[in-house]
Structures are given as structure tokens and as C-alpha cells.
Amino acid sequence: MAIAFSFAPSSSAASSSSLSKLNPHRPFLSASASSPLVHLRLTVTPPSLTHRNRQFRRILFSGAGDDGGINGRDSSGGGGGGDDGDSDGGSDNAGGKNRAEALMVLAESKRGLESLPKDLAAAVQAGRIPGSVVGRYFELEKSGLFRWLMQFAGFRERLLADDLFFAKVFMECGVGLFTKTAAEYERRRENFFNELEVVFADVVMAILADFMLVYLPAPTVSLRPPLGLNAGAITRFFHGCPDNAFQIAMSGTSYSLLQRIGGVVRNGTKLFAVGTASSLVGTAVTNALINARKAVDKDKAGELENVPIVSTSVAYGVYMAVSSNLRYQVLAGVIEQRFLEPLLHQNKLMLSAICFAIRTGNTFLGSLLWVDYARFIGIQKAH
């Protein structure tokens, strides 16, 4: 409301006449009027639409508990800011929209936040996940197998990002044995049986690593809680990196180029450890079989050579960290999530079949590359 007040004394007829000309809306007064002139103007301005929307959102979200990052900073998301200002960027609006959608899905399902896992409920309150993720959780929960798998945080994050994740694990491990054996035969041909111990080591290493190759580079819905204030700078940086460098960021979350590179580096270090450990097991088993064969067949004892454990294990760890890491990151984050899923999201059977074919080809290619790499660095020799 605005009030305008003006006061003008009528000291002379000339001044009164002049005021009359300047204010045509004023009632006519004679020149002899001696009383002062008073104007009052009352204007009522209705509250702006933006203000009413903001008030409505505060009322809507106040019933679900604390602000959860809507009116304050949310340190775990890909952007923060208060909802009390209009210049804080689109991340706050996205956070509020995510939370509203998630609460609506809960209301439609007649479920409460307490029915969700703690990390998922915290992400809903913070506005870090949209309602579609909560809806997918309820759909997956209908399956006894998925309900059991989602008790584990790692599986829960991956299944919420990709409901075909478990099928892809089965594909990878199921075809790994056959494709890797076929690739070994393709590279070795007539020497396949002469190098059978080496072939066995390669296949064992590959099968043990197949699961982690699908698990680690898979896109995720990040439900990790924010780090404490005493966390170091490096820990904070890698905590904010995506599990897949090419994955699509959800509404309200964003990844910088440096964070996406960090995702490749972080997964590379994990895959190096996985590759080295699996190779240690595989080569140890292979050497045990070679020694047993030497003991049985004395004539071929001079022809059989033990596989170098340390050099082979380190070499395989490097191969996993570089070649396998990049191939599976591109496969899961670019080919599947960005191209195939948007095109075939309504035809899960077709999507699964194409993913199966592509992953089979990728596994076969990986086996060929490993044989060439092992021979190039000298840890395996062609007979």
C-alpha cells in the first residue's frame, strides 16, 4: 500500500488559480478560500505472483520435516542455494521440484519416508533425486530378487539408475567364459592346446574380473551422504565424481569436466587392484596345474614353463585400469545410457538383446587386445 500526501496553502488567488490548473481532478475552490489544500491518495498493491508461489512452496514442504536443502545449502548435490532469492540459479528450483515430485509419488503410493532406506529418504528430503527414482524403487521392490539386492547400497544405487543392471551382470559373466575362450583360440589357433595353461589363466582372470567390470563403471544414482567437515580436499573431490564419467546427471546435479575425468581415474585405480588380485589367483592356480602336470608327465617337464606371477598380475592390473576401464565406461555411459535406452526404453526385450550383442562383442575384443598386449610387453610368448 502506498500513501501520497501533499499540502498547499492558499496564500493568494493567483496561486490558488495556478493550483487549479495544475490539478484538474481537484474540486473547484473559489479564490477567496483560505483553508489549506490536502491531497490523500491510497494505493493497494497486491502481492506478486512470485511471492505467492514462494509462500505456497514453504507451506507445502514444511509438512515433510526440515527444509532438507530447499531453503538452505545442500552440500551433497551438484549445486546449492537458498530458495528465498530468485538469483541463486536453477539448481535450487530443480531441488524443490525433485522433492515435490518425490513426495507426490510417496503420497500416491500411500507410503512415507520411513518406508524408504535411510540414504534414499535423506536424498528425497535434500531434493537430490526426482520422483521417477522413487517410482522405480517401488517397481523394483515388487521382485523378491531385486528387493534382496537393494538391501546393499551399491546394488541399490545401480539398479535405481538402470533396471537392467543385474541382467547386464548376468550377460557379462554368462558369455565371458565362451567369448574369451573363443578369442584365445582365434589368436593362438594351432598353438591353442600347446598353450592351454596360459589360456586357462587368461580365462580365470577374465571371469573373476567380469563382475567388477560391469559393477564399477555402471551409472549410479548417488545416495552417498555428504562428507564431514574434516575430510581432505582430495577425498572431497573424488566423493563428488560420478561413478561413470559419461553418465547423465540428474536434475539438480551437475558434473564438471574435471570431475568426470576424476571418475575415470577413481575407477581406474579400483580396476587396477581388481585386475592385479584376480591375476594373482589365476596365475597361482595355473602354476599349480603346471607343476602337477610336470609331476605326472616327466617327458614334458622341460617343455612346460611356469607363468610369472608378479609381472603378469601387474600387467593385467594396468590393462584393466586403462583398456577395460575406458571401454566399459563408454559402453555403459554413452552407448547404452545415452543412445540405446532413450530409443528403446519402451521395448526392454529389444534393448536387452542389443545390449547382449554389444557386450559380447566388447568382451571378445577385450580378449584379443589382452593377448596382443601380453605378447607385446613380453609376459607371454608365442610357441
DSSP letters for 209-242: HHHHHHHTTS-----PPPPPTT--HHHHHHHTS-
Say if CB 187 and CB 371 are below 8 A apart: yes
Lowest pLDDT segment from 28-37, 151-160, 373-382: 28-37
**E strand or H helix at 104:** helix 90-108
Residue 241 and residue 136 share a domain = no
**Per-residue pLDDT band at 378 (split at 50, 70, 90):** confident
Q: Is the pLDDT of residue 196 over 90?
A: no
Query: Is pLDDT larger for residue 308 or for residue 271?
Result: 271
**Residue 349 structural domain:** 164-377
- Which one-letter amino acid corresponds to residue 211? F
Flag whether 70 is in a domain: no
Q: Domain boundary residue among 138, 160, 182?
A: 160
Specify which of 168-172, 177-181, 297-301 reaches the highest per-range mean pLDDT.
168-172
Query: Is pLDDT larger for residue 154 or for residue 80?
Result: 154
Residue 237 and residue 134 share a domain = no
**Mean pLDDT to the nearest integer, 95-99:** 87
- Which one-letter amino acid corresponds to residue 140? L
Q: What is the dihedral of CA 11, 14, 16, 17, to 10 degrees?
A: 180
Q: Domain boundary residue among 124, 140, 160?
A: 160
Q: Is the pLDDT of residue 259 over 90?
A: yes
105-137 in b/e burial notation, b at 16+ Cβ within 10 A? bbeeeeeebeebeeebbbbbbbbbbbbebbbbb
The C-alpha cell at 357 is 550383442
Instruction: For the beta carbon of residue 71, count every other beta carbon within 10 angstroms.
Output: 18
* DSSP β-bridge partners for residue 40: 5
- Which one-letter amino acid corresponds to residue 194? N
Mean pLDDT (the chain) is 77
Flag whether 316 is in a domain: yes
Query: Is pLDDT larger for residue 156 or for residue 53?
Result: 156
Residue 259 and residue 196 share a domain = yes
Eight-class DSSP state of 285: H
Specify the pLDDT at position 225: 81
**Per-residue pLDDT band at 201 (split at 50, 70, 90):** confident
CA angle 362, 367, 370 (to 5 degrees): 120
The alpha carbon dihedral of 253, 256, 259, 260 has a sign of positive
Chain centre to alpha carbon of residue 307: 40
Flag whether 41 is in a domain: no
Q: What is the dihedral of CA 104, 242, 258, 248, to 10 degrees?
A: -60
Flag whether 101 is in a domain: yes
Flag whether 121 is in a domain: yes
Specify the pLDDT at position 17: 43
Query: Is pLDDT larger for residue 267 or for residue 78?
Result: 267
Q: Is the pLDDT of residue 382 over 80?
A: no
* DSSP β-bridge partners for residue 38: 7
Beta strands in the chain (DSSP E): 2-8, 37-43
Q: Which of 178, 249, 197, 177 is nearest to 220 (CA)?
A: 249
Residue 115 and residue 205 share a domain = no
Q: Which of 212, 173, 206, 211 is nearest to 367 (CA)?
A: 206
Residue 133 and residue 171 share a domain = no
Count structural domains, the chain.
2
Q: List Cβ<8 Å contacts ≥24 apart for 6-15.
A: 6/37, 6/38, 6/39, 7/36, 7/37, 7/38, 8/36, 8/37, 9/36, 9/37, 10/34, 10/35, 10/36, 10/37
Say if CB 262 and CB 239 are below 8 A apart: no
Flag whether 109 is in a domain: yes
Q: Which of 228, 222, 213 is nearest to 243 (CA)?
A: 222
Residue 257 and residue 125 share a domain = no
| In the chain, % of residues over pLDDT 70 | 74
Residue 274 and residue 259 share a domain = yes
Residue 246 and residue 108 share a domain = no
Q: Domain boundary residue among 160, 183, 215?
A: 160
Residue 268 and residue 130 share a domain = no
pTM, full prediction: 0.67
Q: Is the pLDDT of residue 77 over 70?
A: no
Flag whether 20 is in a domain: no
Residue 171 and residue 145 share a domain = no
Q: Which of 56, 64, 53 is nearest to 86 (CA)?
A: 53
Q: Is the pLDDT of residue 45 over 50?
A: no
Phi, psi of 362, deg, nearest 5? -65, -40
Flag whether 83 is in a domain: no
Residue 189 and residue 134 share a domain = no
Residue 198 and residue 125 share a domain = no
Specify the pLDDT at position 302: 66
